[in-house]
Amino acid sequence: MRFDQKLSRMKAGTDGPADFIIADAKDADMAGGLSALGTNPVTQCPATLSEFDAAIGEIVRQDLVDIVLASVSTLRRLNKRGVFEGSAIRQAVRLNDTTDLWRIRGADYGRQPSIPFRTARLDLLPVKFGLYSMTFSGDAREDADALFRYRDFRAEAQAAGISHFLEVFNPTHPLLDKIDYGSFLNDMVSRALAGMHESERPVFLKLAFNGAYALEAFCRYDPSLVVGIMGGSSGTTRDCLELLHQAQLCGARAALFGRKILDAEHPPAMVAMMRAVVERRLTPSEAVGVYHEELLSRGMTPRRLLEADLQITNSLLQ
């Protein structure tokens, strides 16, 4: 698998920009169910499962991402249809679904304390590789519970021969000031890793982006760690590509983006621009222009005018 080759070069210290790992998070059904699968561009109705699967198949055939992350049910459907047959893309399954991930219409779980939860059974996974998620809050009981659950998961995963990468979100309810999120996350993740045997450590990390200073500090802390970032909300095309660029300059070597790909006018074109930016073939602003040209060549109308899409709207990137 291409992912394994890149990881080997990273461990040997021989990796370059082309080895940056891009993962497409197609596990939205574990967050919002029906409402999270995107929209049919023609009817503007919520996408069906078959349309969602077709969109994943298009990304797989493009062969520019290194990992596709999906739910147990999605990977089973895709593998029954042979979507990944002969592909160099690594399949990954969402291993747990803490409540702060839930994006259910009419509810507001994202502002409540995160409750550790797991739908997937480790004995029924379609693949032996996946994503485990944690969210710390600054409340000792909540954070200890999250770490207890993660410890139990690691023991089960090792026994079942399952490897994982770890995703850590920012707090979901206001016990901390946002200005402290970066240092809080750095300290909590590093202290959690300190108690782990090397055999049970995550293959790589996926962290919330809390500014260049915090990310660079964590990447410098232990160069043996493969640190990645998560995408967050959609934003402008420049937001997406600028986040990749700045994170890579800080030492990040992976990115797992969901909505930034799913919500793009043409997801494969967006992925192509992401790859061009991390391989240093285009600057973020140049890639926005090329992306618009690609949309127009396909007869598609960009959601924003080029001038607006070139703007950086995420204050952490300015």
Radius of gyration for the chain, computed over Cα atoms and rounded to the nearest angstrom: 19
pLDDT tens readout for residues 190-214? 999 999 999 999 999 999 999 999 9
Q: Where are the alpha helices (DSSP H) in the chain?
A: 2-12, 29-32, 49-62, 72-80, 140-160, 181-194, 212-221, 237-250, 259-262, 267-278, 284-297, 306-309
173 pLDDT band (50/70/90 cuts)?
A: confident
Query: In angstroms, rounded to a whole number, what is the distance separating the alpha carbons of residues 89 and 82?
Result: 13
Q: Is the pLDDT of residue 253 over 90?
A: yes
SS3 145: helix
At 4 the pLDDT is 97
At 234 the pLDDT is 78
Query: In angstroms, rounded to a whole number, what is the distance separating the alpha carbons of residues 313 and 310?
Result: 9
Torsions phi, psi for 228 (to 5 deg): -125, 170
Would you say how long the chain is, in residues?
Answer: 318
289 pLDDT band (50/70/90 cuts)?
A: very high
At 182 the pLDDT is 97
318 pLDDT band (50/70/90 cuts)?
A: confident
Query: In angstroms, rounded to a whole number, what is the distance separating the alpha carbons of residues 18 and 80?
Result: 32
Which residues, 6 or more positions from 250, have their beta carbon under 8 angstroms from its beta carbon? Answer: 212, 215, 216, 219
CB 90 within 8 Å of CB 129: yes
Query: In angstroms, rounded to a whole number, what is the distance separating the alpha carbons of residues 233 and 46?
Result: 18
From 181, 166, 185, select the one nearest 225 (Cα to Cα).
166
Q: How far is CA 203 from CA 200, 220, 239, in A?
A: 9, 17, 27
Q: Is 208 exposed, middle or buried (0-12, 13-18, 19+ CB in 10 A)?
A: buried
How many other β-carbons are positioned within 10 Å of the β-carbon of residue 213? 10
At 181 the pLDDT is 96
Residue position matching structure tokens 């293959």: 203
Angle between helices 212-221 and 181-194 in degrees, nearest 10: 20
Query: In angstroms, rounded to a whole number, what is the distance separating the alpha carbons of residues 112 and 125?
Result: 29
CB 164 within 8 Å of CB 131: yes
SS3 104: coil
Indicate left, alpha or beta for 136 from its phi (over 0: left) and psi (-120 to 50: alpha).
beta
pLDDT tens readout for residues 5-58? 999 999 999 999 999 999 999 999 999 999 899 888 778 888 999 999 999 999
1 pLDDT band (50/70/90 cuts)?
A: confident
Query: In angstroms, rounded to a whole number, what is the distance separating the alpha carbons of residues 266 and 292?
Result: 10
At 40 the pLDDT is 81
Q: Is the pLDDT of residue 312 over 90?
A: yes
pLDDT tens readout for residues 105-162? 999 998 899 999 999 999 999 999 999 999 999 999 999 999 999 999 999 999 999 9
Tokens of 194: 């300190």
At 220 the pLDDT is 97
At 232 the pLDDT is 79
pLDDT tens readout for residues 78-109? 999 999 999 999 999 999 999 999 999 999 99
CB 170 within 8 Å of CB 210: yes
The span from the first CA to the last CA of the chain, in angstroms, equals 36
